[in-house]
Structure 1
């Protein structure tokens, strides 16, 4: 059998393969294989979500749920506050916010929900510190036990601790 040399691999010539055969024999060059594998791996890494982005997305989802709880309490809407709190635990039962969110979700009245909201806010504020400056920490000095803090995404003082009774009591915490 006669052959010709191509890229380190001996290929049969057309006469010995038959004129209609179009077989292709890949090169056995190990450097090309390594480079191909490197390129494929680099491509996969470049287009996969990074853990930091996944963590940021998770934090934003949890904080969005928290803001929905705060807004519902501001509007004296216990059902909406409970639903928003449940969404936090549904998304991540292991989150630092899960326990206080469960207490809000299980609250039987607005007063109990607002008491639980104080602990939820403390955890949300800690979470928000590591995720940019999208939030303002607000403080109401009228909340029993040294005042109450909460996060605001728009800088407005919409007090979730007193709702319509004292809707704008408080301000940015210094």
Structure 2
């Protein structure tokens, strides 16, 4: 009899804690939707600045693109990726970034955009890591479910996970793998 009461007590605690976790996730979604509308809100206090001013600007635009994919806004992702490619049109150091940004800009298919974003992110991570960070930080984040279970990385200005590969479907799926900061 005592075991039966203990079992129900544990079951009740489990249900309550799952509901609290679920409510926190819903609360985060609301915050994310509000904070991703204005890029300056996201970057405030953590602007990544590298010695290459062009890359600093490119990173800010990349973060806008990431946020549009988090919101599953394929039209705005296409617009921002076109802007990103335009920022780099005369820069031969970032040809692969231009290529992937152009790929994203040419489609409104969110699944294709997210696939191209994975390749773009790999190139952005290499570029930021190869640069001297003057201030701020970037977080290398990873989702093991992206690209049909292959996994994919992306950069973020905040430590909190906002998954660009799944948006609201799996907003918090992933973890921080590395922090890029001034050495």
Indicate whether the TM-score tops 0.5. yes
Render the CA deviation track for 1:19-54: whole Å, top value 9, x for unaligned: xxxxxxxxxxxxxxxxxxxxxxxxxxxxxxxxxx99
Residue 109 of structure 1 aligns with which residue?
109
Q: Work out which structure has the larger RCO, using CA pairs closer than 8 Å and 6 or more positions apart in sequence.
A: 2
Kept in 2, the 8 Å contact 1:59–1:131? The answer is no
Tell me the distance in 2 between the aligned counterparts of 1:171 and 1:77: 23
Which ranges in structure 2 are unaligned for 5 or more consecutive residues? 1-48, 179-183
- Aligned to 1:160, which of 139, 160, 164? 164
Bigger share in helix: 2
What SS class does the counterpart of residue 52 from structure 2 fall into?
helix
Largest Rg, 1 or 2: 1
* Offset at residue 151 of structure 1 (A): 0.3
Which ranges in structure 1 are unaligned for 5 or more consecutive residues? 1-52
Provide the alpha-carbon RMSD of the alignment.
Answer: 1.9
Task: Confirm whether residue 82 of structure 1 aligns to residue 78 of structure 2.
Answer: yes
**TM-score after normalising by structure 1:** 0.65
Number of residues of Structure 1 aligned to a counterpart in Structure 2 = 122
Q: Which runs of 4+ in 1 moved over 3 A?
A: none
How does 1:122-141 map onto structure 2 within 5 Å? 122-129=122-129, 130-132=131-133, 134-141=137-144
Deviates more, 1:106-115 or 1:125-134: 125-134
Kept in 2, the 8 Å contact 1:70–1:160? The answer is yes
| 1:172–1:109 Cα change, 3 Å | same
* Offset at residue 107 of structure 1 (A): 1.8
What SS class does the counterpart of residue 83 from structure 1 fall into?
helix
Render the CA deviation track for 1:46-84: whole Å, top value 9, x for unaligned: xxxxxxx99621001111111111100000001111111
How does 1:2-41 map onto structure 2 within 5 Å? none
